[in-house]
C-alpha cells in the first residue's frame, strides 16, 4: 500500500507483554515489600516474645516450683500472643481482600481472589508466631527454677 514505508511486524504476545510490563514490575515491587514486611514482623514478634519471657522469668520459675507443667507455661504464652495475632488477622484480612479485589478489577480478564491465598497467609502468620513463641517458651520451660529464684 505504501511502498516507501518499511513493513514493521510484531507478535501479538509481545504487544500484550509490553502492555502488562508495568503491572508485572509493580507485582515484583509488592512481593519485595511484602517479604520485607513479613521479615520485620517476624523479627518484631521474636524480640517481643523474648522480652516478655525475660521479664516473666521469675513468674515462670515460681509456677514451675509450685508444680506447673511445661505445657501449661507454653499455653499461657501461646494464649497471650494468640489473642493478639487473632485480632490482627481479623482486622487485616478483610482489608487485604478488599484491596486485592479493587486492584484486580482494573484488568479485563481478571481472576477472583480465592480462599487459598488467605489460607496460606494465615498459615505463614501462625507458623512464624508458633516458631517464635515455641523457641522462647521452650527456653523458659527448660530453665531450672532454682536458678531463676536464687536472687529472691
Over the stretch 16-75, which tens digit does the pLDDT of each residue have? 888 788 888 888 998 999 899 989 989 999 999 999 888 888 888 888 888 888 888 888
The domain containing residue 106 runs over which residues? 12-146
Q: Is residue 7 part of a domain?
A: no
Give the Cβ contact number of residue 96 at 10 Å. Answer: 14
Q: Is residue 119 part of a domain?
A: yes
Q: Is residue 152 part of a domain?
A: no
> Using 50, 70 and 90 to split pLDDT, how confident is the model at 114?
confident
Is the pLDDT assigned to residue 108 strictly greater than 80? no
Q: Is residue 2 part of a domain?
A: no
pTM recorded for the entire structure: 0.74
Q: Is residue 96 part of a domain?
A: yes
Q: Is residue 72 part of a domain?
A: yes
Q: What is the Cα gyration radius of the chain? A: 26
Can you tell me the mean pLDDT for 8-17? 82
Identify the H or E element spanning 62: helix 57-66
Q: How many domains does the chain have?
A: 1
Phi, psi of 90 (to 5 degrees): -65, -30
Q: Considering only CA atoms, which of 96, 72, 87, 68 is closest in space to residue 129?
A: 87
Can you tell me the mean pLDDT for 74-80? 88
Residue 6 has what pLDDT? 79
Can you tell me the mean pLDDT for 4-13? 80
Q: Is residue 151 part of a domain?
A: no
Give the C-alpha separation, 105 to 53, whole Å: 46
Give the C-alpha separation, 84 to 92, whole Å: 12
Amino acid at each position: 500500500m505504501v511502498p516507501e514505508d518499511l513493513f514493521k511486524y510484531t507478535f501479538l504476545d509481545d504487544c500484550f507483554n509490553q502492555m502488562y510490563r508495568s503491572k508485572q514490575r509493580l507485582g515484583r515491587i509488592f512481593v519485595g515489600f511484602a517479604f520485607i514486611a513479613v521479615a520485620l514482623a517476624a523479627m518484631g514478634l521474636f524480640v517481643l516474645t523474648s522480652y516478655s519471657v525475660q521479664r516473666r522469668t521469675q513468674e515462670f520459675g515460681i509456677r514451675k516450683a509450685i508444680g506447673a507443667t511445661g505445657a501449661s507455661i507454653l499455653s499461657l504464652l501461646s494464649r497471650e500472643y494468640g489473642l493478639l495475632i487473632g485480632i490482627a488477622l481479623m482486622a487485616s484480612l478483610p482489608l487485604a481482600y478488599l484491596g486485592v479485589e479493587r486492584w484486580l478489577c482494573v484488568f479485563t480478564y481478571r481472576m477472583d481472589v480465592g480462599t487459598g491465598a488467605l489460607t496460606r497467609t494465615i498459615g505463614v502468620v501462625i507458623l512464624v508466631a508458633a516458631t517464635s513463641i515455641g523457641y522462647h517458651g521452650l527456653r523458659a520451660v527448660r530453665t531450672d527454677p532454682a536458678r531463676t529464684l536464687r536472687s529472691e
